[in-house]
Amino acid sequence: MKNFLMTWLLKNYNRSAAHSQRTLLFHGTKISCNNPQRFIGNNNFCLFSCGMCGIIQNGNQGKYSRFNGRMWFANNSAISLGYCGLSTFRTMFNCTPFSSKNSYSSVYRMI
C-alpha cells in the first residue's frame, strides 16, 4: 500500500507541476468609453458596443464575439494589440488557460 501511495503521489505531483507552469494569453478588444478613468471608485459601464465593458460584466463569451462566435487569444501581445482598434484608449486582457484533466474544454480566467 505504501508503494502504491508513493507512486500515485509522484505521478500526480509531476502532472500538476507540469500544469502549474503559467501560460499567459492576451485578448485585445475595442473600447467605446471616452474616459476609462471613470471606473476608478465606481462601476459605470457603457450600455452598448464596448468590448471592455462587455468582458468585465460578462466574461469572454463567444456570443458577443465579432468573429463567428469565437473568442481569440494570442501568446504574443503584439498580435492582440491589432484587435484593439485605433482609438486613443485600447484594452487588452491577460488570460490564464486552465482545464480539468478529464475535460476537453478549456476555460480562460482573466487576471
Residue with cell 456570443: 63
From residue 62, give the alpha-carbon distance in Å to each of 47, 72, 83, 104: 19, 9, 16, 17
Under 8 Å CB-to-CB from 45, ≥6 apart: which residues? Answer: 53, 56, 57
Which of 24, 26, 28, 25 is CA-nearest to residue 81? 28
pTM for this entry: 0.60
Q: Please compute Rg for the chain using Cα positions.
A: 19
What are 40-58's pLDDT values in tens digits?
Answer: 777 777 777 788 888 888 7
Q: For the chain, what are the domain ranges?
A: 22-110
Is the pLDDT at 30 greater than 80? The verdict is yes
pLDDT above 70: percentage of residues in the chain:
63
Is the pLDDT at 5 greater than 70? The verdict is no
Residue 80 and residue 26 in contact, taking contact as beta carbons nearer than 8 Å: yes
Region 4-32: what's the mean pLDDT? 63
**Burial class of residue 91 in the structure, from the number of CB atoms within 10 Å of its CB (0-12 exposed, 13-18 middle, 19+ buried):** buried
Is the pLDDT at 94 greater than 80? The verdict is yes
